[in-house]
Amino acid sequence: MVSWAKRALVGADTAEPEEMYARGRALRESAPTSAHDHAATGKDRPSALEFVEASNEGRLPDLIPLRIERMVTSPFSFFRGASGLMAADLAKTPTSGLSAQLCGDAHAANFGLYGTPDGKIVMDINDFDDTVPGPWEWDLKRLSASLVLAGREGGVGESACLEAAEDAVKSYRRTIRGLAELPFLRSWNALPDASVLSKVKAHDLIDDFEDAADKALKNTSAKVAARWTKHIDDHTTGTKRHRFVEDRPVLSGVDDATAIAVVDGLVSYVDTLRESRRNLIARYRVSDVAFRVVGTGSVGLRSYVALLHGNEDEDLILQVKEARQSSLTPYLGLEPAEHEGKRIVHGARLVQAETDILLGWTTIDGRPYIVRQFRNLKGDIDPSELKADHLDDYGRLAGALLARAHSRSIHPRLLAGYFDNDEDLDEAIGKFAVRYADQTEADHAELAKAAQTGAAWVGGS
């Protein structure tokens, strides 16, 4: 007499909890834990030099040497700019068959602090350039390998690096299990604030978190404007106006045509915001536009900052960043997105507990872009500067945050079933992480040697 109940939400998976767990457990028949302890490299992977040369395509040639310079700084820096190379290595590896909305580049430095609309500081994944639906294992393996590389860069012993990688996996499993037992609304709206440190037993990281949170609270548009802009006389209007101050190669001016194109792009961007926020952004006026180099993986892409003015002396700085196809797309057999900026924004909205209220997308001169607040209430904890016990805690924290992010798009009961009574996954992925870190060091050495000898493609030719 209640047969209608299971059809109340059309398209929703309304199976009973035990049935969901059983489905997850059954997946281990085709992808047992041992399958995740696999070779570091894929058969069809390009060499490090081939990968970097191919990934330079479409970037601004003048900035390619800077990209190479940043990537050769260390194996961890190389890893940060080589998500596509790891995707090639993971392309044909065993998976459980469960798909989540991936960060796509879940290395340890892509977890950061940011402010919610009410000023609360939380920590979450903060980079979505490569976000696409795919195997949850890819994000977790990338995180684990990055912890080994970050630890090695910081002088942490090998056993402690391995422990951090394994504990990230363990924390991921335990968090999924906990989320699977919570009411859906509680698990969905769980905010990753400072309380998560106690939940994952990351007590040694409390001081690091508090220091980073204090810096994030001070990291505002007003502070950036004070450092990067100055008042100049506008002879056309007879008033003083704010303008960006050049600091090449990081910050440079743009010509009038580019500035107009960016402003036009901001006009169309307004329509991509959620309705309640369109009136908010419409109250600001644009004062200046500049080009700014960002990131490691993003060096060479078109990226602008726009200076806006609001109420009285209020400043707002927006970043307008070119959006390219996810480096994972070819290796997952996915069709290119209709708009790469829209892909990134939708991925972030699905994965993050709280997204930037001004996050949206636009098109400028036929190229897709994302738009977001620049640095406002943002901070980070550099994993490569952490000592052994702190790195281990960071691994547990990042593993928990990744699990919460994935639980937005993959039913936690299914994953909890896959993990049921199985702790060997930690060791399996830990071994892979060490193996992949070794491979990354070899790839980095290959790139460093080519850069030292002045290979022609380093200059973009």
HEC-encoded secondary structure of the chain: CCCCHHHCCCCCCCCCHHHHHHHHHHHHHCCCHHHHCCCCCCCCCCCHHHHHHHHCCCCCHHHHHHHHHHHCCCHHHHHHCCHHHHHHHHCCCCCCCCEEECCCCCCHHHEEEEECCCCCEEEEECCCCCCCEEEHHHHHHHHHHHHHHHHHHCCCCHHHHHHHHHHHHHHHHHHHHHHHCCCHHHHHCCCCCCCHHHHCCCHHHHHHHHHHHHHHHHCCHHHHHHHHEEEEEECCCCEEEEEECCECCCEEECCHHHHHHHHHHHHHHHHHCCHHHHHHHHCCEEEEEEEECCCCCCCCCCEEEEEEECCCCCEEEEEEEECCCCCCHHHHCCCCCCCHHHHHHHHHHHHCCCCCCCCEEEEECCEEEEEEECCCCCEECCHHHCCHHHHHHHHHHHHHHHHHHHCCCCCHHHHHHHHCCCCHHHHHHHHHHHHHHHHHHHHHHHHHHHHHCCCHHHHCC
Region 180-208: what's the mean pLDDT?
85
Q: What mean pLDDT comes out for the span 289-312?
A: 93
And the tokens for 45? Answer: 């992977």
Condensed to tens digits (0 to 9), the pLDDT of residues 50-83 reads: 999 999 999 999 999 999 999 999 999 999 999 9
Q: Which burial class, exposed, middle or buried, applies to 443 when counting CB atoms under 10 A from its CB (0-12, 13-18, 19+)?
A: buried
| Of 202, 78, 86, residue with least CA distance to 152 | 78
Whether 106 and 137 have beta carbons less than 8 Å apart is answered as no
Q: What is the pLDDT of residue 411?
A: 94
pLDDT band at 17 (very low <50, low <70, confident <90, very high): confident
- State mean pLDDT over 89-109: 97
Mean pLDDT value across the chain: 91
Q: Is 4 a residue whose pLDDT tops 50?
A: no
In the predicted structure, residue 460 carries a pLDDT above the cut 50: no
Taking residues 279-284, report their average pLDDT: 95
Look at residue 231 in the predicted model and tell me its pLDDT: 81
Q: What is the pLDDT of residue 191?
A: 66
pLDDT at position 9: 53
pLDDT band at 312, cuts 50/70/90? confident
Averaged pLDDT, 371-400: 94
Instruction: Give the pLDDT band of residue 399 (cuts 50, 70, 90).
Output: very high
What does the pLDDT read at residue 13? 62
- Predicted model pTM: 0.93
